[in-house]
Amino acid sequence: MNPQQCREAVVYAAHKIYERQMVNTNEGNVSVCYDGRVYITPSQVCKELLTPEMIVVTNLEGNQLEGTGKASSELLLHLEVYRCRPDVHSVVHTHSPFATAFAIARKPIETKAYTEMIYFYDKIPVAAYGAPGTPAITADVGRVLKMSDVFLLANHGAVAVGKDATDAYLKAESMESLAKTLTINRIIGGEAPLSDEELEFMYRQRKEKLGLGRVE
Q: What's the pLDDT tens digit per position in 144-182?
A: 999 999 999 999 999 999 999 999 999 999 999 999 999
> Would residue 215 count as lying in a domain?
no
**Banded model confidence at residue 26, pLDDT cuts 50, 70, 90:** confident
CA distance 17 to 214: 28
**Banded model confidence at residue 216, pLDDT cuts 50, 70, 90:** confident
> Over the chain, what is the mean pLDDT?
97
Confidence (pLDDT) at 160 = 98
> Would residue 216 count as lying in a domain?
no
Q: How many CA atoms lie within 13 A of 150 on its CB side?
A: 28
pTM: 0.96
Confidence (pLDDT) at 25 = 87
Domain residue limits at 62: 3-210
> Would residue 89 count as lying in a domain?
yes
The enclosing domain of 163 has a CATH number of 3.40.225.10
| 158 within 8 A of 96, measured Cβ to Cβ | yes
Q: What percent of the chain has pLDDT over 90?
A: 97
> Would residue 206 count as lying in a domain?
yes
Q: How many independent structural domains does the chain possess? A: 1
> Would residue 82 count as lying in a domain?
yes
> Would residue 126 count as lying in a domain?
yes
Strand order in the sheet with 29-34: 64-66, 56-59, 37-40, 29-34, 90-94, 157-162, 150-153, 126-127
State the average pLDDT over residues 57-72: 96
Beta-ladder partners of 153: 127, 157
* Sign of the CA dihedral with 76 first, then 77, 83, and 86 last: negative
Q: What percent of the chain has pLDDT over 70?
A: 100
Q: Of 96, 101, 79, 113, which Cα lies nearest the Cα of 171?
A: 96
State the average pLDDT over residues 79-84: 98
CA distance 49 to 155: 27
Instruction: Name the region of 25 (left: φ>0; alpha: ψ -120 to 50; beta: rest).
Output: left
Q: How many CA atoms lie within 13 A of 210 on its CB side?
A: 16
> Would residue 113 count as lying in a domain?
yes
> Would residue 47 count as lying in a domain?
yes
> Which residues carry out catalysis?
74
